[in-house]
Structure 1
């Protein structure tokens, strides 16, 4: 079964189907939730950013892995 949820444009994976858009929205909402949660427990702006950037990198890595395995590849 071929999954065509994402298409690759340069180094960016764009959603190509409804499932791809749902995954993107979930990733963005989770990133916002993570930021708010970290900000509520941190003591300074730099503390918030240090912890948030690490979590954002993990979210981006998981999004990229899912997109890589479900992208529409061109057959030559």
Structure 2
């Protein structure tokens, strides 16, 4: 089964289907939620940012893995000889 949810533009995966856009929206909403949660429990700006960067890297890693395995692969061209 071919899953064409994302396409790759350089090092960025862009959604090309409704499911891809939903995954991106969920990732962004979760990033905002974790930032607010970390900010509630931290005591300084640097404490918030240090803890948030690690979580943002994990969210980005999961998004990239999902996008990598569901990307639209270019079809190789058969050269005529």
TM bucket by the smaller chain? over 0.9
Structure 2 runs not aligned, ≥5 long:
77-81
**Could you list the runs of 4 or more consecutive aligned residues of structure 1 that deviate by over 2 angstroms after TM superposition?**
none
1:32 equivalent to 2:4? Answer: no
1:64 equivalent to 2:51? Answer: no
Task: Give the 3-state SS of the residue equivalent to 1:43 in structure 2.
Answer: coil
Aligned to 1:50: 50
Matches of 2:9 and 2:33 in 1, distance apart?
A: 28
> RMSD of the alignment, in Å?
0.2
Aligned to 2:12: 12
Matches of 2:62 and 2:28 in 1, distance apart?
A: 12
| Aligned-residue offset at 1:75 | 1.4
TM-score, normalising length: structure 2: 0.93
* Larger-gyration structure (1/2): 2
- The number of residues matched between the two structures is 76
TM-score, normalising length: structure 1: 0.99
Task: Give the 3-state SS of the residue equivalent to 1:71 in structure 2.
Answer: coil
Task: Give the 3-state SS of the residue equivalent to 1:73 in structure 2.
Answer: coil
